[in-house]
Structure 1
């Protein structure tokens, strides 16, 4: 998959697009994204800069909860517009100061190539720092959900994990998630598309029904 195949007609990837391919240096070695984490989900997230306070809390959050992502068949992939040397020094500094180890690859995007490819540079916010973007990418390398935060607001790790789990459960069961859904809550079953399906739905006592178009079930 070549970069030229991506982003035709718009400046940043959108939900449903194939994730743009790239080669990059990371703290875990060089990667070709199309070959990265085969058969797994990827959470690709950018941060504005190394050795900055909000970024340190966020990266620590990903590191502390890495096992939860692993349990969801998901690889973490960080990025900032800093050199590999800066990344390594920062990772080492945080480990020395707090005991938290960023044991996942962090892209050294010093030429801003990946940031531009993914629309992480937003000029009205900053010309030289990537905004706090999160891309949820499925095993087929399709973008399924995108979150953007400004430079001065940290993300919510519970929401990132909740969203990832919701996407996976929705895929596995052909359902949708209601407001504030979390694992264990009832899910929304697809609405009927014919009169016969509607009549069957109304007669189905296994569902929690508000009306024929809004019904929930446990999974």
Structure 2
């Protein structure tokens, strides 16, 4: 079934490594990233969980709550994270974010199963999904990776920077943009409106078509 951008992300109850959790109550009015993994005690998933844990402070700086989900049991999660902590030399006893055990039906409803990869019983594995949810509980971003490809958590942080910036400023971010780099003034904004909104000004890139659609302005958040 899946969920589209702009829709309110479905609420659900689950058991986690930190106790029972209601998703909407957990995120409250914060930004959130919900991501899934195919299975505990697997080689690629272990690298992803380690990378996510090491970047947890960066998500915190952006006011983003994290939740990892799969069909594995909470007890399985608790055992697996001990391996992750040793593999990535984590000194903290508590893992930085909860891992949830959810039903296969919920994952199916959200379009989070990979039909091309199956477990030993023939059931589809959980895909490597990333959902970014805004403070209004609406879906702002979804990325779907196959079970065979690990994610880049630096890229997830980059897109969160873009989402948070463009939620409050009338700009768009170009390919490979990073926080602090120049942005593009959105096309619906007139030059007169742009002058008022961007005190640092903007520059127009000349192109053969003579159209002034490429207008660059410094990152408004800096």
TM-score band w.r.t. shorter chain = 0.7 to 0.9
Check the 8 A contact 2:112/2:126 in 1, yes or no.
Answer: yes
Question: Per-residue deviation at 1:213?
Answer: 1.9
Residue 5 of structure 1 is matched in structure 2 by none
89, 104, 114: which one aligns with 2:97:
104
The question of 1:154 aligning with 2:150 is answered yes
Give me the CA root mean square deviation: 2.1
1:40-189 map, 5 Å: 40-100=30-90, 102-109=95-102, 111-126=103-118, 127-189=123-185
Unaligned runs of 5+ in 2: 206-210
Looking at structure 1, the residues matched to 193 and 109 of structure 2 have their Cα atoms a distance apart, in angstroms, of 48
Length-normalised TM-score, structure 2: 0.85
Is 1:12–2:2 an aligned residue pair? yes
Q: Distance in 2 between matches of 1:70 and 1:21?
A: 22
Aligned length: 204
Instruction: Work out the CA distance in 2 between the residues paired with 1:157 and 1:121.
Output: 20
How many Å separate the matches in 2 of 1:148 and 1:55?
15
Separation in 1, partners of 2:7, 2:215:
30
**What TM-score do you get using the length of structure 1 for normalisation?**
0.86
Match of 2:201 among 206, 209, 212: 206
What CA distance in whole angstroms lies between the structure 2 residues aligned with 1:67 and 1:49? 25
3-state SS of the aligned residue for 2:149?
A: coil
Alpha-carbon separation, structure 1, partners of 2:185 and 2:154? 24
Q: Is the 8 A contact 1:20 1:117 kept in 2?
A: no
Question: Does the CA-based 8 Å contact 1:80-1:107 persist in structure 2?
Answer: yes
8 A Cα contact 1:192 1:201, kept in partner: no
Tell me the distance in 1 between the aligned counterparts of 2:21 and 2:194. Answer: 49
Q: Deviations over 1:56-98 (max 9, x none)?
A: 0000001001000000000110011101110011012222444
For the residues of structure 1 that align with 2:137 and 2:50, how far apart are their CA atoms? Answer: 26
User: Contact 2:114–2:147 at 8 Å: present in 1 too?
Assistant: no
After TM superposition, the structure 1 stretch with the greater mean CA deviation from structure 2, 72-81 or 89-98, is: 89-98
